[in-house]
Structure 1
Amino acid sequence: MYNLGSTGLAEAILQTMDQPLLVLRDDLTVEEANSAFYTLFKVDTEETRGRLLYELGNGQWNIPELRRLLEEILPQQSVVEHYRLEHKFPEIGKRIMILNARRLPPEGDRPELILLVISDRTETEQARFELEGYVEFGEKLIDSTREALLVLDWDLKVVRANRPFYDAFQVSPDDTKGRLIYELGNRQWDIPRLRELLENVLPNNNAFDDVEVEHDFEHVGRRVMLLNGRRLDHLDLILLAIRDVTEQRRMEKERETQVGELHHRIKNVLTTVDALVRRTLRDSGSLEEFGRAFESRLGAMARTQDLLVRAPRGSVDMSEILRLELQAHGGREGGNFNLDGPAIALPQDAVQAFAMAVHELTTNAVKHGAFASPEGRIDIQWTVQAGEGGATRVMFRWRERCPIITSAGRTGYGSRVLEAAFRHTLKGSSRLTLHPDGAEFSAEFQL
Structure 2
Amino acid sequence: MTLPPDDRLTALQSENEHLRFQLARLEAELSARSADRQKLSGPRRLVPTAKGDVYRMIVESAVDYAIIATDLDGTITTWNDAAETVLGWSERQVVGRSIATIFTPQDVEAGIHLKEMRLSLTEGKARDERWHMKSDGSRFYASGEMMPLYDDADVEIGYIKILRDRTQEILAKSELETSRERLKLALDASAIVGTFDWDVKADKIWADARFASVFGIEPEEAERGASLERFVNGIHPDDQERVSGSIAEAMRTGEPFAEEYRTLDIEGRQRWIFCRGRCFLDGEGRPERFPGAIVDITQEKERLLRQTALLRLGDDLLREIGPNDYAMNALTILGETLTVSRVGYASVGPGGASARVVNEWLAHGIEKLPGIIDLRNYGEKFQASLTKGLVTIDDVATDPATAGHVERFSALSIRSLVNITVVEGGEVRMIFYVHDERPRRWSSDDVAFIREILSRAWTYTRRRRAELALLETETRLRLAHEAAEIGTFDYDLSTGKLVWDERCKAMFGVFDDRPISYDDTFVRGVHKDDIAEVQAAVDAALDPGERADFDVVYRTIGLQDGVLRHVQARGQTIVENGRTLRFVGAVRDITEEKLAEERQTLLTRELQHRVKNTLAMVQAIANQTIRRATNAEDGLKAFSGRIAALAKAHDILVQTSWTSAPIADVVEKTLLIHRPGRADRLVWSGPPLMLDARQSLALSLALHELATNAAKYGALSNEEGRVDIRWDLGARNADGQPMSFVWRERGGPKVVAPERRGFGSRLIHQTLTAEFGGDLDLAYDADGLVCSMTTVLRA
TM-score class, shorter = 0.5 to 0.7
Q: 2 CA distance for matches of 1:196 and 1:254?
A: 28
- Alignment of 1:180 with 2:180, yes or no, is no
**Corresponding residue for residue 579 of structure 2:** 235
Change (3 A) 1:161 1:168: same
**Corresponding residue for residue 427 of structure 1:** 773
Q: 2 CA distance for matches of 1:235 and 1:174?
A: 31
Post-superposition CA distance 1:290-348 (Å, at most 9, x none): 11111111111122222222346632221222223333124667511221211111111
- Alignment of 1:158 with 2:500, yes or no, is no
Shift of 1:387: 5.4
Q: Which amino acid aligns with 1:183?
A: D
Shift of 1:247: 2.2
Contact 1:333 1:339 in 2 (8 A): no
Q: 2 CA distance for matches of 1:191 and 1:422?
A: 49
Contact 1:380 1:397 in 2 (8 A): yes
Structure 2 residues not aligned, in runs of 5+ = 1-476
1:432 is paired with a residue of what secondary structure? strand
1:410 is paired with a residue of what secondary structure? coil
Change (3 A) 1:190 1:314: closer
Q: Which residue among 320, 335, 340 is the counterpart of 2:680?
A: 335
Q: 1 CA distance for matches of 2:591 and 2:512?
A: 24
Contact 2:779 2:787 in 1 (8 A): yes
Shift of 1:268: 2.4
1:293 is paired with a residue of what secondary structure? helix
Q: Which residue among 631, 634, 657 is the counterpart of 1:286?
A: 631
**Corresponding residue for residue 345 of structure 1:** 690
Change (3 A) 1:195 1:329: closer
Shifted more, 243-252 versus 253-262: the winner is 253-262
Change (3 A) 1:181 1:387: same
Contact 2:705 2:760 in 1 (8 A): yes
Q: Which amino acid aligns with 2:674?
A: H
- Alignment of 1:369 with 2:708, yes or no, is no
**Corresponding residue for residue 256 of structure 1:** 601
Matches within 5 A, 1:140-155: 147-152=486-491
**Corresponding residue for residue 525 of structure 2:** 189
Shift of 1:367: 1.7
**Corresponding residue for residue 77 of structure 1:** none
Quote the sequence identity (%): 26
Post-superposition CA distance 1:72-105 (Å, at most 9, x none): xxxxxxxxxxxxxxxxxxxxxxxxxxxxxxxxxx
Change (3 A) 1:235 1:172: farther
Contact 2:526 2:556 in 1 (8 A): no
Q: 1 CA distance for matches of 2:675 and 2:532?
A: 70
1:321 is paired with a residue of what secondary structure? helix
**Corresponding residue for residue 391 of structure 1:** 736
- Alignment of 1:321 with 2:321, yes or no, is no
Change (3 A) 1:408 1:262: same
Matches within 5 A, 1:105-144: none
**Corresponding residue for residue 763 of structure 2:** 417
1:375 is paired with a residue of what secondary structure? coil
Contact 1:214 1:225 in 2 (8 A): yes
Q: Which amino acid aligns with 1:152?
A: Y
Contact 1:377 1:400 in 2 (8 A): yes
Q: Which amino acid aligns with 1:360?
A: E
Shifted more, 260-269 versus 162-171: the winner is 162-171
Post-superposition CA distance 1:255-288 (Å, at most 9, x none): 3344344333322221111111100012111112
**Corresponding residue for residue 35 of structure 1:** none
**Corresponding residue for residue 393 of structure 2:** none
2:773 is paired with a residue of what secondary structure? coil
Shift of 1:200: 5.7
- Alignment of 1:360 with 2:708, yes or no, is no
Instruction: Return the index of the structure with the highest Cα Rg.
Output: 2
Q: 1 CA distance for matches of 2:498 and 2:633?
A: 82
Q: Which residue among 214, 219, 232 is the counterpart of 2:556?
A: 214
Matches within 5 A, 1:294-313: 294-311=639-656
Contact 1:368 1:406 in 2 (8 A): no
Shift of 1:209: 4.2
Post-superposition CA distance 1:196-248 (Å, at most 9, x none): 35656654796564232131242795422134577777333555653311222
Corresponding pairs, count: 304
**Corresponding residue for residue 272 of structure 1:** 617
Q: 2 CA distance for matches of 1:231 and 1:362?
A: 72
Contact 2:530 2:554 in 1 (8 A): no
Q: 2 CA distance for matches of 1:214 and 1:303?
A: 44
Change (3 A) 1:331 1:393: farther
**Corresponding residue for residue 40 of structure 1:** none
Structure 1 residues not aligned, in runs of 5+ = 1-140
1:262 is paired with a residue of what secondary structure? helix
Shift of 1:166: 5.9
Post-superposition CA distance 1:339-388 (Å, at most 9, x none): 12111111112111111011111111112211111111111111112456
**Corresponding residue for residue 380 of structure 1:** 725
TM-score by length of 2: 0.34
Q: Which amino acid aligns with 2:717?
A: A
Shift of 1:254: 3.4
- Alignment of 1:441 with 2:787, yes or no, is yes
- Alignment of 1:245 with 2:590, yes or no, is yes
